[in-house]
A and B are shown apart, each in its own frame.
Chain A
Amino acid sequence: MNRLFILILIAISLISCNKVLEDIQPKDQLPIAAAFNSIEELEAALVGTYDALQNPDLAGRSLLFFSDLLSGNIRSVVSADLLEIANLEMNTNNSFIADFWIRAYQAINQLNLILSSLPVVAHQDGTADTTRVERMEGEAQFLRGLLYFELVRFFGQPYGSDIHPDLGVPLLLNPITSQENLSFTARASIAEVYQQIIKDFNVALPLLPEINPMGRGRANQFVVLAYLARVAFQQEQYGLAAQYCDTLLADGKYTLTPEPADFFVDEGSSEEIWTVISTPEDDLGFMGLTAFYHPNSGTGTITQNLKMYGYNAIATEAQLAAQLDALPSAQLIDLRYYGGPFFNPSLISADSNFTLKYEDADNYADDAPMVRLAEFLLMRAEIRARDGEITTAIELLNQVRQRALRLVDDQGGLIPNGEQFFLFNPDDFSNMEALLEIIHRERRVELAFEGNYFHDLMRRRADVQGLPYDAEALRFPIPQREIDVNPNLVQNPGY
């Protein structure tokens, strides 16, 4: 019998070692504690946040097309969720809006973790290259500011509105890595969020080099300047915005491409300040900008409003009359519109329903244009106009127009210098308002489908699709799932 019990004991003890449970460690994932440990790892974490930004929920689609949908530049009838944004009848369960919110805060948490780990890791690793650490910190600060800027512009009232100034977005600045520091953060005020954005950008500015050694598609000093200019412009702090613009425009760092389409076709052109890069391997597919806008698969159709008050109004009646007088058979071509058979590529499809700014339908790999020169030429032009510097304002405006407009004869042949008929002179304008209206129209057309127009309307406190700029229906609803799980979160009025 004794032998028997020994046998039984052996059988049991064979597997009685607790070690078999301890030995199980994930192989395709890393514990957080092990992943934010070295400069190289933090660099990869930073790349991960650019990848998040590239996602269709952010710059890969939504950040850009939300603005064009809301402002009535485009419509999309195939998806109910997109249709309700264009109709300004948003639902708190709108999946595009929820995904934007979720993705933005995912990236913010990782940026917070990078920012809190960087000093520790740099300190431990005595050999770390200081400029590299600074560049990484600058990028993380900048990206966080950028995400808060996008969030607050869509979920809060426009800056300066006195309706619900307390309803900005939750401001999270520390990383959350464990159940123990889970938070149920309430919304910060709009002013607080803007303060944080500006702070983040200002911290980033001196840390970043003029050229990012990590290559195209990464933030550098000028990208931050461009965003600082945007923020100041949005806050109607025109003097400050002008300063940032001037630095950006100085020394010919950036030049306009010969034709408008060049910027979109030849990615990485001289006009590019910053784009979020998308490669064929990223394959945003039918979720991305290209699929949404391109005529092959596109569902984002250009509205009559944009054609009528934008493209078709780009030449004033006086300009058209003068041209008809001089060259009655000639015809104006706007290369940002359909350029006709001889001006290919142009930026609108022949049926005038779809934009061709996102043309790479073979790969679905169009970069998302974030900031480019033309915007800042027009920004500076507007500020000059507001300052009464009409001549210099018109000069900047004409740079943009000259690139886009052509005059052709009845054979389709280019008439040299024909676009001169459509450039402006100071005496074309009786007052500043008239000039501002022209610049605003130019901005709308030049920057159409690049996520600009809605924010422009907000800044100018102009009506959107018949609603006043501070209307409740123009704010995104806080996603219902967030309201459902966070009792401290206040929904926007009207939802």
Chain B
Amino acid sequence: MKKHPLPLLLAVMALSPMFLFAQPKTITGQVTDTFGDPLPGATILINGSNRGTASEESGHYRLELQPQDSVLFVNYLGYQSREMAIESSMQINIVLRENIRQLDEVVLWGYGQDRRRDLTGVVASLGRKAIQSVSVPAFQGALQGRLPGVDFTNASGGLNAEPIIRIRGVSSVSAGNQPLIVIDGLALSNETTDRGYGYRTNPLLNLDLNDIESVEVLKDPSTTALYGARGANGVILLTTRSGQFERPPRINIGYYAGFSEISRRYDLLNGREYAWLWNEAVRNADPNSSSELLYDLDNQPNTDWQNLILQKGFLQEATAGMSGGTPTTRYYFGGTYRDEAGFILTTRLRRFSFRTNIEQRIGKRFRVGLLLSPSRTVDRRVGNQFIGSAYGITSLFFPNVEAFDGNGNVRRDHIETDIGIRFGFLGNPRVIVEDQEVWTIANQVLFRGHLVYDPLPNLELKTEFSAQLHQLENESYFGATTFFGEPNGRAASLNQQVTAYTWNNLATYQTRWGESHLLDVILGTQLTHEAFNATTFSVKDFPSSDFTTPVAGGHNTGWFSWDEEYVFLGYLGRLAYQYQDRYLFALNARYDGSSRFGADNRYGFFPAVAAGWIVSDEPFFRVGWVDFLKLRGSVGLTGNAEIGNYAARGLVGSGNNYNGQPGFHLQSIESPDLSWEKNLQWDGALEFSLWNGRLQGSLGYYLRDTKDLLLAAPVPATNGITVLNNNVGEIRNQGLEFDLSTTLLLGPFKWKVMINGATLRNEVRQLADRDGDGVEEDIIAEGLFLFRPGESVSSFFLVKYAGVDPDNGNALFFDLEGNKTPNYSPSNRQVMGSALPRFHGGMLHTFSYRRFELSVFFQFKTGFQRYLLHGNILESNMSGIGNQLSTQLNAWRPDNRDTEVPQARLYQSNGDQVSTRYLHNADYLRLKTLTLAYTIPARKARLIQWRFFASVQNLLTITNFPGLDPDSEFYTAASATQGAVLANLPAARTFTCGVNLGF
């Protein structure tokens, strides 16, 4: 801060007519924006001192003055700072202009923070305001499409669906591609999803969006280096709210409620249509079929099973928080309750979460802090995806049967059509939702304690211990007449616990010498330990449907336990140097060990270097309309160890019992040379701000080469195993990332547009030659995906469908020469597309007029495909007995020769093989949120600010994808194979309105 020369100050005072009457003792006033709306929490400091205050919710402030005070310095995040001379009046109202330049934003990158202008690494960030501007139910919803190069996919539209996050593509086949999520310095375990039944649940479910102060995504080695091994796929850094010293208490209360509905339904055959297609299929399969196999078309019931399990969902959320600080203490307390009933009958999710964040100064040199956040989620569900789920069975269940008996009760018998056709399982969709109870209850405590010691003004020593305790309980009961429960009911119970801690020790030293040299040094150690324990058991044969607790079961049918742990140990260092504030340089290095690898291969060394040049600060740079121009680049190495905890070992598992005798079986064989997967990443970017911040943004390019791929490669099963972990192969990801924002001000009308996007080109560069014959073997996964040098990771590898032979209704396929043939052969498989979007991004428009604000947010992905795994059930032109999509009415007939749907032939494969018939472009543009808000600012001190809003999620999706939702995924987040859909629930369309008040 500049010091005013005393003589000048005296001169100013002497000239002041009020001088003789002395200064007023107290000043008050209000801080507002240019529209006159109050700005709560603005900092008002007396220049040249450390005295100051912050504005209240209504923007009002009050400050005691001393005689020599002359100038106020007013600062508010996102607005241009101002200095105001203190004049005679007792009231000084301060109007701040919005700072449309983002350069002065503070960005966190792990163990430190920088102004955006000084960053050398690659960090995308979202502040609290940006997160809140789209009020969405779940964490991932707030981030999807908002951060360039960060690709979110929702597993399904279920209440508790797992998000799949990819930062800059897919770089690993077996070592996981999900980024590390760090909340307040604690890296969240990725073991918080249910291990027992393969129901993937959302590991972020226990996080509360209201608590989040900012989100930063670290994308390059120079920023992720401080997170080490686990940050190889990028780091999503969540910082929760905290209080600030010397602030009056601020209270926020919010409530919203709304309803939800399914955004898209299957267009299925009705009872009569189904019977008609069946009859066609029977006759086509065998012209001499007995007439007993044919339906009487005029006498078929019609049941819309979808209607019977869908409902209008309801959701509400209430939240309250308080923050503030004294000169020695700062605090934040908050809590949220959320209750949501999904659009499928009986589904419901409730969440309770609390957070406290306190820091205390002890003397001048010590600070001690505590963060504690317990939460609980109680979720009743019916399965979010898969054919065995209620919605999955709904799609294929006979439409030409009655769902209810004569008394109006849902039928629990083995339902047959009137010619005696039935499924090999008991139960129908309605019975599944009624008689099946699956509860997932997660309790979590996040803890962080830290102690900071500042022995010297520019040296900080910090030790930080953070822990995550996550306990998940899965209780399920399947009634006797359900798919999973027959014949006498089944139940299962899973109890799992994750106990993870991270202990960081850091020494930070900062020094400036001369006018132009700034040096930052960090040294530290990091120890991470995680233990995973779980037990599960299942029982069957219940005395009656009134008994649903597992102990009532007549037989134990399975029990299993897990007990695993791992340790990472890292040493880290960082050296950052700035010369003349415009030449920026940073060097990071890490030495990491992991217990997952073979004894001689545990440690890896991972350095990174980054540099930046603020061109616009150069004396020679004289371009009036360019306010800011920076070039930056970085290169670095990271390591990835996200494989099984014991992946290098040959192990036997137990529980392979026979006739009451205990037994065990080999599960894996040893791969002693297994070691780190390495990522070498290059980054270059240009950042700019033009026309006084009217247009600003960045454009960057990255190239990420992954070597020594950790590959659970398929091996011949004759070896007694099917996959083996090893380090072979290379993958390259490269792309451009950009973000742009522009603001138009037309009097009281403001229009702000933010656009971001990223391209991705992914290529497998090398794979293993596992059998030593000089040729690298392809890896074919799930019978759909190919990993092959020169192609994208998990390219679709399919026989190409060639439509229908107009002469006879046979399905045709292309052979490798491009000839059409009715013979299906896997030897004709070829690369037919990729599941990775070539371009994705989002666009946010915010229109403000006075107190109204309308935000419209679009999100899009293009250049990718999705395979419909249930295509061969729902669009099989009746090769099985299940119901079909209405498209199948267009099956080939002698009078309908020009069609893509082959002739219906009961029980015969005619085009239902795995082929491109079920592969579809999934490009989509989605109007993800539409929010209208109206704010009544607090006008006087201690009054309430009101904000009312109404919001719609997933209102509109523009796509040619014939499945329910192009933004859904069958495979788990950890899997490298992505791109298939199997009866996944589509996104919910939700309508909410609510109010926030602050005082």
Contact = CB atoms under 8 A, between A and B. Distances in A.
Contact of B459 (A4, A15, A48, A108): A4
A170 B913 CA distance: 29
Interface string A102-116: 100110111001000
Interface string B704-736: 000000000011111111101010000000000
Contacts of B662: 44, 47
A46 B659 CA distance: 12
B572 to A, nearest CB: 10
A12 B571 contact: yes
Contact of A35 (B459, B507, B557, B664): B664
A26 B541 contact: no
Contacts of B663: 44-51
Interface stretch (A76-84, A415-423, A426-434): A76-84
Interface in B211-242: none
A293 to B, nearest CB: 11
B567 interface: yes
Interface in A248-297: 277, 279-283, 285-286, 296-297
A127 interface: no
B393 to A, nearest CB: 13
Contacts of A24: 565-567, 595, 645
A51 B658 contact: yes
B463 A11 contact: yes
B972 interface: no
A129 to B, nearest CB: 17
A30 B652 contact: yes
Contact of B593 (A21, A110, A297): A21
Given A8-B461, A91-B913, A78 B719 contact: no
A367 to B, nearest CB: 10
A411 interface: no
B651 A26 contact: yes
Nearest to B784: A93
B881 A77 contact: yes
A21 B503 CA distance: 15
A162 interface: no
Contact of A485 (B503, B654, B714): B714
Given A178-B670, A277-B658, A481-B780, A51 B714 contact: no
B916 to A, nearest CB: 16
Given A28-B564, A80-B879, A106 B665 contact: yes
Contact of B487 (A16, A214, A296): A296
A110 B487 contact: no
A172 B914 CA distance: 32
A216 interface: yes
Interface in B559-597: 561-567, 569, 571, 593-595
B720 A480 contact: no
A484 B525 CA distance: 45
Interface in B726-773: 726, 770-771, 773
Nearest to B596: A24
A82 to B, nearest CB: 10
B909 A89 contact: yes
Nearest to B425: A297
B719 A83 contact: no
A454 interface: no
B506 to A, nearest CB: 9
B907 A83 contact: yes
B543 interface: no
B914 A93 contact: yes
The residue among B463, B555, B599, B720 with the most chain A CB atoms within 10 A of its own CB is B720
Contacts of B913: 91
Most chain B Cβ neighbours within 10 Å, of A44, A87, A495: A44
Contact of B720 (A7, A31, A108): A108
A484 B722 CA distance: 12
A392 interface: no
A215 interface: yes
A20 B665 contact: no
Interface string B534-566: 000010110000000000000111100111111
A363 B555 CA distance: 8
Interface in B506-541: 507, 523-525, 527, 529, 538, 540-541
A362 B720 contact: no
A153 to B, nearest CB: 17
Nearest to A109: B720
Interface string A165-207: 0000010100111111011110000000000000000000000
Contact of B649 (A7, A18, A31): A31
Contacts of B780: 480-481, 484
Contacts of A185: 716, 718
A92 interface: yes
Interface stretch (A335-343, A459-467, A486-494): A486-494
B716 A183 contact: yes
Contacts of B714: 481, 484-485
B672 A176 contact: no
Contacts of A177: 650, 666, 669-670
Contacts of A184: 716, 770-771
20 contacts: A11-B463, A16-B525, A21-B602, A26-B651, A27-B565, A32-B652, A47-B662, A51-B657, A51-B665, A106-B720, A110-B665, A170-B716, A172-B719, A179-B671, A217-B659, A298-B424, A363-B555, A479-B717, A481-B717, A481-B783
Given A172-B718, A283-B540, A488-B771, 6 more contacts: A105-B717, A178-B672, A183-B718, A299-B424, A481-B780, A486-B771
Interface of B: 414, 423-426, 455-456, 459, 461, 463, 486-488, 503, 505, 507, 523-525, 527, 529, 538, 540-541, 555-558, 561-567, 569, 571, 593-595, 599, 602, 645-646, 649-654, 656-667, 669-673, 714-722, 724, 726, 770-771, 773, 775, 777-778, 780, 783, 824-826, 872, 879-881, 907-909, 912-914
Interface of A: 4, 7-8, 11-12, 14-16, 18, 20-24, 26-33, 35, 44-52, 54, 77-78, 80, 83-84, 87, 89, 91-93, 101-102, 105-106, 108-110, 113, 170, 172, 175-180, 182-185, 214-217, 277, 279-283, 285-286, 296-299, 361-363, 479-482, 484-489, 495
Report the 7 A-B pairs with minimum CB-CB distance, sorted nearest first: A109-B720, A47-B663, A283-B557, A48-B663, A299-B424, A24-B595, A48-B665
